[in-house]
Amino acid sequence: MTDIFSEVDQNVREERIASLWQRWRPFVYGAVVVLIGSVAVNEFILKPQAASARAARALELENAVTALEDGRYEEAQAALKAIVDSGSKLAPLAAHYLAQTQLEGGGDAAAAADTLAAVGGTEAGPYERLALLKAAYFRADTLTLPELETTLGTLATEETALGALSRELIAAKAFAVGDIARARTEYNRLKFDAAAPEGVIQRAELALDAIPVLPDAAPETPAPTEAPTDATAEQPQETGQ
């Protein structure tokens, strides 16, 4: 009897599965078709289009850089600005060339700084971080020391070559505003900074040789004292005349 009931249960389960399959089969087939279609569209349409678009943008950047090198500044600036405004992955790199074009072609350091600052940041890739540092260099003369430190942000605390260059800029600014103690402190740190490029270390050593060492305290000047009088000094003798 147990075998009979088991066989009946098995038949019931099979019928239920068959019924469910009949009900949901179109949806399953549809999902498979959509999946296969999505993969096909991605592999044979979207990927080639994306690759073609990247190649086109790379060619645009190459042509713009060629125009810059040839001195065709207006053409280079228009092309580079279009790439920067597109927001593509090439935009940060194009911003560096655009800033160069604005500086060389029109002598507009403020516009170059604005271009670099627009793409610069400490939480992004190397081109964005370098853009932030270059923008700080352009604006260093017009910023106070605290403003410069705020502009550089966490970039000045990084144990990287860009971080060392940022600290060098802060040291130079400190010296320029007369904060000799801060300047010497920053240059001393750079002198032993493992992340600093060799050129930064050499410039730090030269700066330390040129910047005077401030005394800890001004030496006291002894007050002038009067020459002692000799009580037994010879007095003019009276004559009996």
- Among 5-14, 21-30, 51-60, the minimum mean pLDDT is found in 5-14
Average pLDDT over residues 9-28: 64
- Secondary structure letter of residue 45 according to DSSP: I
Residue 5: the pLDDT is 43
Phi, psi of 120 (to 5 degrees): -75, 150
With a pLDDT cut of 70, the percent of the chain lying above it is 67
The average confidence (pLDDT) of the chain is 79
Contacts for 80 with CB less than 8 Å, ≥ 6 apart: 61, 64, 68, 94, 95, 97, 98, 101
Average pLDDT over residues 214-232: 50
pTM: 0.65
Using 50, 70 and 90 to split pLDDT, how confident is the model at 86? confident
Q: Which residues of 100-133 are buried (b: 16+ CB within 10 A; e: fewer)?
A: bbbbeeeeeeebbbebbbbbbebeeeebbbbbbb
**If you write DSSP's letter for every residue of 56-103 in order, what string do you get?**
HHHHHHHHHHHHHHTT-HHHHHHHHHHHHHHT-TTHHHHHHHHHHHHH
Q: What is the pLDDT of residues 165-220, one digit of tens each?
A: 999 999 999 999 999 999 999 999 999 999 999 999 999 999 999 998 877 644 44
46: its two tokens = 């979207």
Question: Is residue 36 predicted with pLDDT exceeding 80?
Answer: no
Residue 221: the pLDDT is 43
Residue 219: the pLDDT is 45
Residue 56: the pLDDT is 78
Q: Which residues of 28-44 are buried (b: 16+ CB within 10 A; e: fewer)?
A: eeeeeeeeeeeeeeeee
Question: Is residue 80 predicted with pLDDT exceeding 80?
Answer: yes
Average pLDDT over residues 138-147: 95
Average pLDDT over residues 80-90: 89
> Residue 94 in contact with residue 78, Cβ under 8 Å?
no
Residue 233: the pLDDT is 45
> Residue 208 in contact with residue 171, Cβ under 8 Å?
no
Residue 218: the pLDDT is 43
Q: What is the pLDDT of residues 143-159, one digit of tens each?
A: 999 999 999 999 999 99
Residue 13 is which amino acid?
Answer: R
CA distance 144 to 199: 25
CA distance 111 to 115: 6
Per the model's pLDDT, the better-predicted residue between 97 and 5 turns out to be 97
3-class secondary-structure state, position 231: coil
> Residue 166 in contact with residue 196, Cβ under 8 Å?
no
- Secondary structure letter of residue 43 according to DSSP: I
Q: What is the pLDDT of residues 90-115, one digit of tens each?
A: 889 999 999 999 999 989 999 999 99
Residue 58: the pLDDT is 82
CA distance 39 to 46: 10
